[in-house]
């Protein structure tokens, strides 16, 4: 019965911090903020140990919330292999990032506010992944969206940050609106929002490819696309880097943005019933991963490189979902959480100690000045680039590439191209930031609360993949088997995989080589200075101009419409209504004249009306 | 009367004993604190005596009282509400001039009447309970007898209550003349025995009974007194009238209608429905631009009683469930709102009622302001408070019967309500305008603790209503005894 405590503890932490309203000393804030997530992580571990030792049957703890005309939603948490993995990732990575923030944010005035929002986020995220009911899941879904908004705009005195927060909120809102319609559709057609019940009924009642199944899957996909920053709703994530770096690590890399992947995996029955939508998932994932990789290639801002990289890596997860490699998607979600959190956190160290400088071309030669940041960033980059054998990213990405290859050579080739680009863009950053001659002297020490999370995440970024070595290395599919209890396993990929493993390994190495050429002062970098290449570069750096197009196509026409209607002719109706109501108030108030005989007359009149209604009706 | 009967009416006996002790205590030594403690202990003991009574429930004790789960649930609610009023008024009365001991005696007597009402199953106990509830109220309303406003309110209430009692009695006489029985449970059968004959006598009787009760519930057009009396009464008494008296009377009305089989009659439904719509619209409209907080809450209660009638009209067990939850929500919220008025008035030594007095409360007394805002939001039916689910239940009851005019009025009333509740919230949150002398914070620790408890209940049952709903549903099943 410890399971409900896992989300409850961070919520309690939030309440304490919220109610104290910044009146507690920083030590106490730290103890509550970090401690609540830490204890939740320990509890999650105990729950997980119990689950693994037992028969591994799903564990459900539920309370009825209300009963209303046959509508009986529950507050329920459900632990199966899928939510177990998610819960461990959220609590552990969450705890490490909280610990890191305790030092990183120490000088900030909004220390209490920061930890309150972070704790609320962890609670909401745990509700999202543990909910056994789509309504309850939606509570978590909106909760993480709210926290994302609050934390992107954490430094609200700067209007640009508020703008970024609003952009994130509104763009994801587009997806959420679709998802809400999807939930209503599921409830009206299947009569239940309980995930297991609804999925069971969907499998029975909806034939393969039926309109209802396609609509439901597509609407949920809309929500997933918004939350996970996939095409065409990816534009908010690079701007979301306006938040503090730990926020980018926790919310916009490791956990919240992968909620879409989780949602699709959780409702995979629908996608199996709707092959066109499933195909769309694969195509969206592939397109996103390529587009975002090209954009990452041309960024100057270190955090934006990582942001585009996140979009692209989630594209991989969507690709895996689309080709039915459910477990591979969750596997990559997990390893990505490790290495991307690591990358953000070590980038945070660099930025913090270099006076908030995020432009990679103004950094340089940091490998000797900041060995800890250098090595941890290198490990994270290697894992992201899927350096063969020694990194977690290799094992998970390899599984996806193999599955994509088996589904269609086009998807496989695109995934390989993406892998190449990934290696190029991240090692370009490594070479530019850490290579070359030193430029500025970093200041400030790096404390233990920052170092420990970096080291632990480095270990995870390397070893996290050993839970499932590829068949070419004689490994056993432990992770997919474990998830297989919840998600159907992908078809065996043994033979196809060997060649792919070799190819993706070589491609990663080639990518690093090209990155070295670009970053250095070689002829190769010079060759990229020709005008057409510059143009392409600018186009990609601006994220393929999506912001521009949306601005011209949606935002400006909308503002123009508002300008036309600035007197709001529809509001006239309501203004008139309000005037009418005021008039009614004035008239009725005449009756309240304080005279007893008038009041008595009221009672008499009322009795007469009641009598008349009874007698004549 | 055997042993089980005695146990069933134990709550009456315990409360009467507590009342006697207080009156005797006053004879020995005039001490406000002593009376307050005795009253609190008496109410708590009466609450505890509900358990032995529950062991023998459901039980008909003489033809007058039906001690069943429904009665016990409402008794529990009324006793808890009275206890809250005692706790809220303790510091308030300390600031008043003159002795305050009798205040508690009157309060307990009125509570006794309320207990009798919710278990009444006979016209005799109905009328006795109602008068026992009402007559001490006159004393409570006019308790600060040096001030003109309470005296005016007391006199108005006295005359109008007498008038409505007369209407009620006449209605009872008509029903008795037609049916030949005063027991609720026999009325349905007696009515059926007459078959399709002319019903005018019976219908007129029911209409007049409803009119008499509608006065107590301050339904439109019987509501004209409500603002003057709420304004004139001391703040804790206003809370008591708004909550205990209305809970008891509505509880009785529901029992009478269910037991006597009145819900089946379309004419009665029409009458109640028209009055419900008039109350929802009239009450909320009257509150619209009101600048006196007590009067505003008075009109708001008119609207809420209208919503309650929508739930009421569902009939059967659905009505018990919806009305029960609504009464719990309404009681908690209204007590909280008037509790804040009480605490503020305690500090100021006068009734703090002008909307201007509430301006910038959030900056002067943030905790009190937070409680007040939560209570107002609950009255407005905002999610995450009890008021939200209460309104959902009322609306569901209306939708379930396809009573669209009622649902429409409910929605319209809620929209209007939102406006004036938020007006108060805005005033509370505004920064101070110019010089505003902050009134001294009176030593109202007990009242603040009570408010904290009410707020806790409000949020807890507003987020997770299942425990309350289960409890009420359990009672609805027991009701089948008659």
* Predicted complex ipTM: 0.88
Q: How confident is the model at residue A472 (pLDDT cuts 50, 70, 90)?
A: low
Q: How confident is the model at residue B99 (pLDDT cuts 50, 70, 90)?
A: confident
- pLDDT tens, A595-614? 899 999 999 999 999 999 88
- pLDDT tens, A332-375? 999 999 999 999 999 998 888 887 778 877 887 788 888 888 89
- Number of other CB atoms surrounding residue A107 within 10 Å: 9
Cα separation, A126 vs A94, in Å, equals: 11
Own/partner pairs for B99-103, CB < 8 Å, 24+ apart?
B99/B30, B99/B32, B100/B32, B100/B35, B100/B143, B101/B22, B101/B25, B101/B26, B101/B30, B101/B31, B101/B32, B101/B34, B101/B35, B102/B26, B102/B35, B102/B139, B103/B35, B103/B140, B103/B143
Residue of A67, A602, A611 lying closest to B207 (CB–CB): A611
Q: At which residue do the structure tokens 């009574």 appear?
A: B53
**Inter-chain CB pairs, A–B, below 8 Å:** 106
- pLDDT confidence of residue A142: 92
Q: Which of these, A24, A18, A82, lies nearest to A484 by C-alpha position?
A: A82
Q: What's the mean per-residue pLDDT of chain B?
A: 89
Cα separation, A105 vs A243, in Å, equals: 12
- pLDDT confidence of residue B315: 79
Strands B65-67 and A74-79 come out as: unpaired
A594 touches chain B (CB under 8 A): yes
Cα separation, A496 vs A408, in Å, equals: 12
A 35-64 residues with CB below 8 A of B? 63-64
CB-CB contact of A119 with A14 (8 Å): yes
Note if the bond before A599 is cis, omega within 30 degrees.
no
SS3 state of residue B172:
helix
Q: Compare A393 and B84 and report the one with higher pLDDT.
A: B84
Cα separation, B129 vs B125, in Å, equals: 6
A61: enclosing H helix or E strand: strand A59-64
Q: How confident is the model at residue A400 (pLDDT cuts 50, 70, 90)?
A: confident
CA B269 distance to own-chain centroid? 22
Contact (CB<8Å) B208/A607: yes
Torsion of CA A323, A325, A331, A332, to 10 degrees: -10
Contact (CB<8Å) A613/B393: no
CA B95 distance to own-chain centroid? 26
Q: How confident is the model at residue B410 (pLDDT cuts 50, 70, 90)?
A: very high
For residue B158, pLDDT over 90 is answered with: yes
A79: enclosing H helix or E strand: strand A74-79
Cα separation, A543 vs A238, in Å, equals: 9
Residue of A581, A589, A617 lying closest to B267 (CB–CB): A617
CB-CB contact of A124 with A144 (8 Å): yes
- pLDDT tens, A424-459? 889 888 888 888 777 777 777 788 888 888 889 898
From chain B, the residues in CB contact with A19 under 8 A are: none
A606 touches chain B (CB under 8 A): yes
Q: In residues, how long is chain B?
A: 482
Strands B65-67 and B59-61 come out as: antiparallel
Question: Cβ neighbours of residue B105 under 8 Å, at least 6 residues apart?
Answer: B19, B22, B23, B26, B35, B39
A1 touches chain B (CB under 8 A): no
Q: How confident is the model at residue B9 (pLDDT cuts 50, 70, 90)?
A: very high
The encoded tokens of residue B375 equal 């209570």
Q: Which of these, A298, A288, A565, lies nearest to A415 by C-alpha position?
A: A288
A580 touches chain B (CB under 8 A): no
- pLDDT confidence of residue B481: 40
Bridge partners, residue A131, by sequence: A77
CB-CB contact of B102 with B26 (8 Å): yes
Residue of A581, A600, A615 lying closest to B204 (CB–CB): A615
The encoded tokens of residue A421 equal 């680009």
Note if the bond before A468 is cis, omega within 30 degrees.
no
For chain A, how many helices (H) and strands (E)? 28, 2
From chain B, the residues in CB contact with A139 under 8 A are: none
The encoded tokens of residue A89 equal 């990732």
Contact (CB<8Å) A610/B160: no
pTM over 0.80: no
Contact (CB<8Å) B207/A613: yes
Contact (CB<8Å) B465/A65: yes
Own/partner pairs for A195-199, CB < 8 Å, 24+ apart?
A195/A78, A195/A131, A195/A132, A195/A133, A195/A134, A195/A137, A195/A266, A195/A267, A196/A78, A196/A132, A198/A134, A199/A267, A199/A269, A199/A270
Cα separation, A184 vs A196, in Å, equals: 16
A343-352, A450-459, A462-471, B385-394: least confident range? A462-471
- Number of other CB atoms surrounding residue B434 within 10 Å: 4
| Interface test with chain A among B151, B322, B466, by most A beta carbons within 10 Å | B466
Report the sign of the C-alpha dihedral through residues B143, B144, B147, B149, in that order.
Answer: negative
- CA distance to partner chain A, nearest, from residue B145 (Å): 19
Contact (CB<8Å) A69/B203: no
For residue B77, pLDDT over 50 is answered with: yes
For residue B480, pLDDT over 50 is answered with: no
A482-496, B94-108, B236-250, B361-375: least confident range? A482-496
Contact (CB<8Å) B167/A607: yes
Contact (CB<8Å) B286/A588: yes
| Interface test with chain A among B169, B211, B314, by most A beta carbons within 10 Å | B211
Cα separation, B208 vs B167, in Å, equals: 6
Contact (CB<8Å) B215/A603: yes
Contact (CB<8Å) B207/A603: no
A552: DSSP letter: I
- pLDDT tens, A189-247? 888 888 888 888 888 888 888 888 899 999 999 999 999 989 888 888 888 888 899 99
Burial of A577 (0-12, 13-18, 19+ CB in 10 A): exposed
The encoded tokens of residue A386 equal 């899927």
CA neighbours closer than 13 Å in the CB half-sphere of residue A195: 29
A 134-153 residues with CB below 8 A of B? none
From chain B, the residues in CB contact with A65 under 8 A are: 464-466
A250: DSSP letter: I
Cα separation, A36 vs A12, in Å, equals: 8
Contact (CB<8Å) A603/B200: no
- The DSSP line for A568-592 is -HHHHHHHHHHHHHHHHHHHHHHT-
From chain B, the residues in CB contact with A584 under 8 A are: 285
From chain B, the residues in CB contact with A603 under 8 A are: 160, 163-164, 167, 211, 215, 221-222, 224
For residue A129, pLDDT over 50 is answered with: yes
Torsion of CA A193, A197, A201, A203, to 10 degrees: 110
Cα separation, B244 vs B133, in Å, equals: 9
For residue A566, pLDDT over 60 is answered with: yes
B67: enclosing H helix or E strand: strand B65-67
From chain B, the residues in CB contact with A64 under 8 A are: 466
- Determine the residue of chain B that is closest to A584 in CA distance: B285
- pLDDT confidence of residue A515: 83
CB-CB contact of B25 with B35 (8 Å): yes
Residue of B271, B285, B464 lying closest to A584 (CB–CB): B285
Q: Which of these, B320, B207, B326, lies nearest to B254 by C-alpha position?
A: B320
Strands A74-79 and A59-64 come out as: antiparallel
B383: DSSP letter: T
Cα separation, A25 vs A563, in Å, equals: 49
Cα separation, A591 vs A602, in Å, equals: 9
Strands A74-79 and B59-61 come out as: unpaired
Q: Which of these, B172, B258, B167, B261, lies nearest to B216 by C-alpha position?
A: B167
Cα separation, B262 vs A361, in Å, equals: 84
Q: What's the mean per-residue pLDDT of chain A?
A: 85
- CA distance to partner chain A, nearest, from residue B56 (Å): 29
For chain B, how many helices (H) and strands (E)? 22, 2
- CA distance to partner chain A, nearest, from residue B45 (Å): 32
The encoded tokens of residue A210 equal 């039926």
- pLDDT tens, A141-196? 999 999 999 999 898 888 888 889 998 998 998 899 999 999 999 988 888 888 88
Cα separation, B134 vs B110, in Å, equals: 7
- pLDDT tens, A269-298? 889 888 999 889 999 999 999 999 988 888
A603 touches chain B (CB under 8 A): yes
Angle at CA of residue A428, ends A426 and A430, nearest 5°: 70
Cα separation, B462 vs B474, in Å, equals: 19
A313-322, A351-360, B202-211, B305-314: least confident range? A351-360
A584 touches chain B (CB under 8 A): yes
CB-CB contact of A152 with A164 (8 Å): yes
From chain A, the residues in CB contact with B464 under 8 A are: 63, 65, 75
Q: Which of these, A177, A126, A173, lies nearest to A146 by C-alpha position?
A: A173
Cα separation, A493 vs A488, in Å, equals: 14
């Amino acid at each position: 019965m410890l399971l409900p405590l896992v989300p409850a503890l961070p919520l309690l932490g939030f309440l304490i911090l919220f109610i104290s309203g910044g009146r507690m000393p920083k030590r106490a804030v730290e103890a509550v903020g970090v401690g609540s997530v830490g204890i939740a992580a320990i509890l999650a571990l105990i729950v997980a140990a119990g689950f693994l030792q037992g028969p591994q049957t799903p564990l459900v703890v539920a309370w009825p919330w209300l009963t209303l005309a046959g509508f009986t939603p529950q507050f329920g948490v459900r632990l199966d292999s899928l939510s177990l993995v998610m819960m461990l990732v959220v609590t552990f990575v969450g705890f490490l990032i909280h610990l890191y923030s305790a030092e990183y944010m120490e000088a900030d005035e909004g220390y209490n506010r920061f930890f309150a929002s972070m704790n609320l986020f962890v609670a909401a995220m745990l509700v999202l992944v543990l909910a056994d009911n789509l309504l309850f899941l939606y509570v978590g879904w909106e909760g993480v969206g709210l926290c994302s908004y609050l934390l992107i705009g954490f430094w609200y005195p700067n209007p640009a940050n508020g703008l970024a927060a609003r952009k994130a909120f509104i763009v994801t809102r587009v997806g959420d609106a679709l998802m809400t319609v999807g939930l209503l559709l599921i409830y009206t057609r299947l009569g239940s929002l309980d995930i297991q019940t609804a999925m069971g009924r969907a499998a029975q009642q909806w034939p393969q490819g039926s309109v209802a199944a396609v609509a439901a899957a597509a609407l949920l996909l809309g929500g997933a696309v918004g939350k996970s920053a996939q095409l065409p709703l990816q534009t908010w994530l690079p701007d979301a880097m306006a938040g503090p770096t730990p926020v980018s690590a926790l919310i916009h890399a490791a956990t919240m943005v992968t909620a879409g992947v989780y949602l699709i995996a959780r409702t995979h029955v629908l996608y199996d019933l709707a092959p066109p939508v499933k195909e769309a998932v694969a195509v969206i994932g592939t397109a996103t991963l390529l587009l975002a990789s090209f954009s990452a290639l041309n960024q100057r801002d270190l955090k934006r490189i990582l942001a585009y990289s996140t979009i692209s890596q989630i594209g991989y997860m969507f690709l895996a979902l689309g080709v039915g490699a459910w477990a591979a998607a969750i596997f990559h979600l997990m390893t990505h959480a490790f290495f991307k959190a690591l990358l953000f956190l070590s980038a945070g160290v660099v930025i913090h100690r270099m006076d908030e400088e995020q432009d990679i071309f103004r950094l340089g030669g940091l490998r000797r000045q900041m060995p800890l940041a250098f090595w941890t960033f290198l490990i994270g980059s290697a894992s992201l680039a899927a350096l063969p054998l020694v990194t977690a990213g290799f094992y998970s990405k390899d599984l996806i590439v193999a599955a994509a290859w088996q589904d269609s050579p086009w998807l496989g080739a695109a995934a390989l191209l993406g892998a190449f680009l990934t290696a190029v863009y991240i090692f370009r950053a490594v070479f530019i930031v850490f290579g070359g001659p030193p430029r500025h002297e970093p200041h400030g020490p790096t404390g233990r609360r920052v170092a420990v999370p970096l080291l632990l995440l480095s270990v995870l970024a390397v070893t996290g993949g050993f839970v499932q070595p590829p068949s070419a290395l004689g490994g056993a599919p432990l992770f997919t088997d474990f998830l297989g209890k919840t998600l159907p396993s992908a078809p065996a990929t043994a033979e196809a995989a060997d060649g792919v493993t070799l190819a993706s390994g070589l491609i990663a190495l080639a990518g690093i080589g090209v990155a070295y050429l670009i970053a250095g002062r070689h002829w190769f970098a010079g060759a990229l200075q020709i005008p057409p290449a510059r143009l392409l570069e600018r186009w990609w750096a601006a994220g393929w101009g999506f912001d521009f197009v949306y601005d011209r196509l949606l935002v400006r026409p909308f503002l123009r419409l508002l300008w036309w209607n600035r007197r709001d002719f529809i509001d006239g109706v309501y203004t008139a209504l309000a005037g009418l109501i005021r008039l009614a108030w004035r008239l009725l108030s005449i009756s309240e004249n304080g005279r007893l005989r008038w009041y008595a007359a009221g009672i008499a009149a009322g009795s007469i009306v009641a009598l008349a209604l009874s007698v004549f009706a | 009367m055997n042993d089980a009967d005695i146990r069933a009416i134990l709550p009456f006996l315990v409360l009467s004993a507590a009342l006697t002790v207080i009156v005797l205590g006053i004879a020995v030594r005039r001490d406000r604190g002593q009376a307050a403690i005795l009253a609190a202990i008496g109410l708590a003991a009466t609450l505890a005596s509900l358990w032995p009574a529950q062991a023998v429930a459901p039980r008909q004790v003489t033809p007058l009282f039906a001690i069943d789960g429904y009665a016990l649930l409402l008794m529990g609610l009324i006793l808890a509400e009275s206890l809250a009023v005692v706790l809220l008024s303790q510091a308030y009365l300390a600031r008043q001039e003159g002795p305050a001991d009798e205040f508690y005696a009157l309060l307990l007597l009125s509570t006794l009447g309320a207990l009798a009402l919710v278990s009444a199953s006979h016209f005799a106990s109905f009328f006795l309970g109602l008068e026992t509830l009402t007559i001490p109220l006159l004393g409570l309303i006019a308790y600060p007898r040096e001030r003109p406003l309470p005296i005016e309110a007391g006199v108005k209430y006295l005359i109008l209550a007498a008038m409505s009692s007369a209407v009620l009695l006449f209605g009872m006489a008509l029903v008795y003349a037609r049916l030949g029985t005063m027991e609720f449970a026999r009325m349905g059968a007696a009515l059926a025995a007459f078959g399709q004959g002319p019903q005018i006598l019976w219908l007129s009787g029911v209409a007049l009974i409803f009119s008499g009760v509608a006065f107590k519930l301050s339904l439109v057009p019987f509501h004209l007194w409500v603002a003057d009396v709420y304004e004139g009464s001391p703040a804790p008494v206003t809370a008591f009238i708004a909550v205990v008296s209305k809970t008891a009377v509505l509880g009785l009305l529901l029992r009478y209608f269910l037991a006597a089989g009145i819900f089946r009659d379309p004419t009665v439904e029409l009458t109640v429905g028209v009055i419900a719509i008039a109350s929802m619209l009239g009450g909320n409209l009257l509150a619209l631009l009101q600048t006196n907080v007590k009067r505003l809450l008075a009109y708001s209660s008119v609207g809420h009683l209208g919503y309650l009638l929508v739930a009421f009209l569902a009939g059967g067990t659905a009505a018990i469930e919806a009305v029960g939850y609504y009464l719990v929500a309404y009681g908690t919220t209204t007590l909280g709102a008037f509790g804040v008025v009480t605490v503020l008035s305690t500090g100021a030594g006068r009734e703090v009622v002008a909307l201007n007095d509430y301006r910038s409360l959030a900056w002067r007394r943030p905790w009190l302001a937070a409680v007040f805002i939560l209570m107002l939001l609950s009255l407005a039916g905002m999610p995450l408070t009890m008021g939200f689910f209460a309104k959902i239940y009322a609306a569901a009851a209306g939708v379930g019967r396809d009573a669209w005019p009622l649902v429409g009025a409910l929605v319209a009333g809620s929209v209007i309500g939102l406006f004036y509740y938020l007006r108060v919230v805005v005033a509370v949150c505004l920064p101070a305008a110019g010089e505003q002398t902050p009134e001294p914070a009176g030593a109202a620790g007990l009242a603040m603790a009570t408010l904290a408890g009410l707020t806790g209940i409000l949020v807890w049952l507003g987020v997770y209503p299942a425990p309350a709903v289960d409890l009420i549903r359990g009672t609805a099943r027991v009701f089948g005894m008659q």
